[in-house]
Amino acid sequence: MTYEYADLKIIKKEANGKLASIFSLRYKGAAHPGQYISIWVPGIGQETFPIAHQDSTGFNILVTKKSDVSKNIFPLKKGLILVKGPFGHGFPMNNLKKTNLVMIGQTHLFSPLWFALSYVKENKTSYLKTSIVALQTKPKKAFIENLKKASSDKNINLEYTEKAEDFKKLIKKIKFTKNTNVLLSLKEEYLKEVLSLLKSKKVQNKNIYFYLHRKMNCAQGICGSCAVLGEKTCVDGPVFRFDDVLGFFE
């Protein structure tokens, strides 16, 4: 982990629809599913991005053309960008071994689950079945094609839809056992709904982990902009176990 911004080289850029691209950055250190990095564009600002995948050359991030920072990164094809991290507590993948996993996410917020999914595929004998439910809001086609590739394994089942109503139906269809852990990466409005659905399916709170997509101004636990019930998303999260922050959704 580095607390200072350092130049990382863009080694590949792949379109993921018109408004999003996957950037591969050269990085030799270790990262963990659910961690994030901070990118600084001088004169514009900084923004945090969940890490979407890691291999021996570096890691990937998904950049969606939304904020001033991401609009400045988006046109880049090569060169260096200023990055610090990886930061934060991610999904406790080691503790989840020998269990069934259910991953529920939506298109542009799916990055933490991409990383968890690739981790499961690389360690596939360690996990039981994995079910993925995705809501594919924009960008659509490229996202779902990439997700299909990432899910190509006999122990991984993928279901996806474009409609919020069907999204809930797909989640209701899943058989949750006592040995199932759920990983979520959703907008907060969907997160609340899905948490209440999981409650109706009798999933225990201690088996639910979610990536909280909060704006992080300093990403160092200093400014307080990301605080949730006394926890700071940037240093205590961004992945939380539901029973640790129960009051947040009441």
Residues forming contacts to ligand FES in the complex (CB under 6 A) are: 216-219, 221-226, 232-234
Nearer to ligand FES, 19 or 44 (CB): 44
Overall residue count recorded for the chain in this entry: 250
CA distance 52 to 40: 18
Q: How far is the CB of 149 from ligand FES (least distance, A)?
A: 34
Nearer to ligand FES, 133 or 212 (CB): 212
Backbone angles phi, psi at 165, to 5 degrees: -65, -45
Q: How far is the CB of 242 from ligand FES (least distance, A)?
A: 20
DSSP SS3 for 147: helix
Q: How far is the CB of 48 from ligand FES (least distance, A)?
A: 8
Six token digits for residue 49: 């991005």
Report which of 9, 12, 14, 43 is spatially closest to residue 27, judged by C-alpha positions: 9
What's the Cα-to-Cα distance from 120 to each of 52, 114, 128, 184, rounded to whole Å? 13, 10, 10, 15
DSSP SS3 for 34: coil
CA distance 162 to 13: 26
Q: How far is the CB of 230 from ligand FES (least distance, A)?
A: 12
Nearer to ligand FES, 92 or 221 (CB): 221
Nearer to ligand FES, 136 or 233 (CB): 233
Nearer to ligand FES, 38 or 151 (CB): 38
Q: How far is the CB of 217 from ligand FES (least distance, A)?
A: 5
